């Protein structure tokens, strides 16, 4: 190694020390860097594989655990009255309904509330009651928030809203009409059970009690929803097919949820609810399953790619990992076998590159002809009896994704390796600094020696310089 000199032809201690330290530590640093790079690539590969496996298993669970690929739809003949949805287990069919009422939440108002004296402690307990036999008490003696000795409607509303035992069952507000503040209470409990009333029996006599005890104005009545199944009968005493409840969402038909937003007028024709196969949703579910599989296969293909040295293409992180290759091969084998049989019947076929594709036209026709066939082919990966494709796939995928599976073990291993490499790098940097400082000290001494020798030479030149001309 050539020593670094300055413009004055003396040694440069800093540059020389760094150059010599780099020379002796280069191989060690290269090994740590290469190992760190490999560990980082492994960690990234495991993360990518974990995300793909998780997405795939989640897709399987979504399609086989709580629903099926074959989706049912529910529609009203008059969409202005509401909307409906159907689960895959809902039976196809038509139903006649008449919506007499939609549920409403009670809203009341009281005027002339403001300006009453603040009640003494213990004399301002206002009880607010709901028709479902629940209630809560507001202490109005603590409602005053300003220096004014009177209570305003705004302060009363704030006290009602702030009462912890209210639990958001009632919302109070203030509306000013003609210069007069109106205390407005809105029930957050739908239907007749949410009807509001005041109990002022625990309050001391006075203007405030009198105002609150007055009959409130009904802004919105508390009413239950009423729906007639099969249409409203001519005999008003016949309530055998009437459904009355506080909520506007009905689930009286198995697998169907109906939400009504508008009542029909007397004399209107009943509406029709149709439950049938939802071709679009079924195709979407199938595409979701295929997309999740194709994504997983793409990730595994990239991780196990052998690369191409001739073209400079690098190999995948797990190109030589037999475990990951086995996972990929099992995945492809299972789907290829079924995609040439049961799945192919429903338009899901394997391509030459091992991916899956969906023929939506064939899928729709096949599901219409055999609504449960696709679900039987896909099977189930939840519960105690896995079946079909989902059961087979889940069995070996779980070997990787379980708590103590291959992914968890490998992630633990690479994390330990990365920690070890970090420690080695830290030690290397400490050793590097020690070596550098030692070399710098030595070169500094050499520089000092060179300077003294230069001075000695100059002194001799000065003493004997004239003799050189003789």
Task: Count the neighbouring beta carbons within 10 Å of the beta carbon of residue 410.
Answer: 21
CA atoms within 13 Å, Cβ hemisphere of 468: 6
Helix (H, G, I), strand (E, B), or coil: what is residue 23? helix
Residues 6 or more apart in contact with residue 376 via CB below 8 angstroms: 342, 388
> From residue 334, how far is each of 54, 127, 337, 383 by CA, in Å?
18, 67, 5, 21
Neighbours of 399 (CB within 10 A): 16
pLDDT score at 76: 97
Residue with tokens 């740590």: 32
Tell me if 303 sits within 8 A of 138, measured CB to CB. Answer: no
Sign (positive or negative) of CA dihedral 82, 88, 92, 95: negative
CB distance 83 to 288 below 8 Å:
no
Q: Is the dihedral of CA 428, 433, 438, 443 positive or negative?
A: positive
Strand partners, 109: 184, 217
Supply the pLDDT for residue 470: 47
Place of tokens 């989640």: 58
Instruction: Give 375-413 as a DSSP string.
Output: HHHH-B-SSS--BHHHHHHHHHHHHHHSTTSHHHHHHHH
Which residue is listed with tokens 């509001």? Answer: 196
The dihedrals phi and psi of 331, each to the nearest 5 degrees, come to -60, -50
The pLDDT tens digits for 289-320 are: 888 888 888 888 888 888 888 888 888 888 88
Is residue 371 within 8 Å of residue 380, measured between CB atoms? no
CB distance 316 to 324 below 8 Å:
no
**Main-chain phi, psi angles of 58, to 5 degrees:** -65, -40
269 Cα distance to chain centroid: 44
Backbone angles phi, psi at 167, to 5 degrees: 55, 35
Cross-strand pairs, 173: 184
Between helices 322-339 and 279-303, what is the axis angle to 10°?
150
Say if CB 354 and CB 348 are below 8 A apart.
Answer: no
Please report, in tens digits, the pLDDT of each residue of the chain (470 residues total). 555 555 455 568 889 889 999 999 999 999 999 999 999 988 998 888 888 888 887 777 766 654 567 788 999 999 999 999 998 788 889 999 999 999 999 999 998 787 777 888 878 899 999 999 999 999 999 998 887 888 889 999 999 999 999 999 999 999 998 888 999 999 999 999 999 999 999 998 888 899 899 999 999 999 999 999 999 998 989 999 999 999 999 999 999 999 999 999 998 999 999 999 887 888 888 888 888 888 888 888 888 888 888 888 888 888 888 888 888 888 888 777 665 567 888 888 888 888 889 898 888 888 878 877 777 777 665 555 556 777 777 777 888 888 888 888 989 999 999 999 999 999 999 999 999 999 999 888 888 887 778 777 777 777 776 555 44
For position 174, what pLDDT does the model report?
A: 95
Q: What is the pLDDT of residues 58-79, one digit of tens each?
A: 777 766 654 567 788 999 999 9
The pTM of the full predicted model, rounded to 2 decimals, is 0.62
Residue 342 confidence (pLDDT): 75
């Amino acid at each position: 190694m050539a020593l670094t000199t300055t413009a004055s032809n003396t040694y440069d201690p800093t540059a020389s020390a760094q150059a010599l330290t780099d020379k002796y530590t280069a191989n060690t640093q290269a090994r740590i860097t290469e190992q760190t790079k490999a560990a980082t690539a492994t960690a990234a590969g495991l993360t990518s594989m974990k995300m793909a496996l998780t997405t795939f298993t989640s897709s399987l669970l979504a399609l086989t655990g709580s629903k099926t690929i074959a989706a049912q739809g529910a529609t009203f003949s008059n969409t202005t009255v509401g909307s409906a949805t159907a689960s895959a287990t809902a039976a196809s069919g038509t139903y006649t309904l008449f919506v007499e009422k939609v549920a409403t939440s009670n809203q009341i108002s009281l005027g002339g509330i403001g300006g009453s004296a603040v009640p003494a402690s213990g004399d301002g307990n206002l009880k607010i009651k709901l028709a479902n036999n629940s209630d809560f008490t507001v202490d109005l003696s603590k409602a005053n928030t300003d220096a004014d000795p009177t209570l305003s409607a705004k302060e009363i509303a704030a006290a009602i809203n702030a009462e912890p035992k209210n639990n958001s069952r009632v919302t109070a507000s203030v509306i000013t009409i003609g210069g007069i503040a109106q205390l407005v209470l809105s029930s957050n409990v739908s239907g007749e059970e949410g009807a509001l009333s005041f109990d002022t029996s625990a309050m001391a006599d006075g203007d405030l009690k009198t105002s609150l005890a007055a009959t409130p104005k009904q802004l919105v009545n508390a009413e239950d929803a009423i729906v007639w199944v099969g249409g409203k009968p001519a005999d008003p005493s016949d309530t055998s097919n009437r459904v009355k409840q506080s909520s506007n969402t009905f689930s009286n038909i198995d697998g169907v949820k109906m939400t009504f937003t508008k009542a029909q007028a007397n004399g209107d024709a009943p509406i029709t609810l149709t439950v049938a196969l939802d071709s679009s949703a079924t195709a979407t579910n199938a595409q979701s399953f295929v997309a999740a599989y194709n994504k997983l296969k793409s990730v595994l293909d990239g991780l196990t790619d052998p690369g191409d040295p001739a073209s400079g293409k690098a190999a995948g992180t797990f190109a030589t990992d037999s475990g990951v290759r086995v996972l990929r091969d099992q995945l492809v084998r299972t789907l290829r076998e079924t995609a040439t049989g049961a799945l192919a019947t429903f338009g899901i076929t394997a391509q030459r590159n091992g991916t899956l594709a969906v023929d939506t036209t064939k899928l729709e026709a096949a599901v219409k002809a055999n609504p449960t066939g696709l679900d039987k082919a896909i099977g189930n990966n939840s519960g105690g009896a896995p079946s079909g494709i989902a059961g087979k796939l889940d069995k070996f995928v779980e070997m990787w994704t379980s708590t103590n599976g291959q992914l968890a073990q490998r992630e633990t291993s690479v994390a330990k390796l990365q920690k070890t490499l970090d420690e080695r790098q830290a030690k290397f940097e400490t050793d590097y600094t020690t070596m550098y400082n030692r070399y710098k000290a030595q070169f500094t001494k050499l520089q000092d020696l060179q300077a003294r020798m230069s001075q000695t030479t100059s002194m001799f030149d000065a003493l004997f310089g004239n003799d050189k001309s003789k």
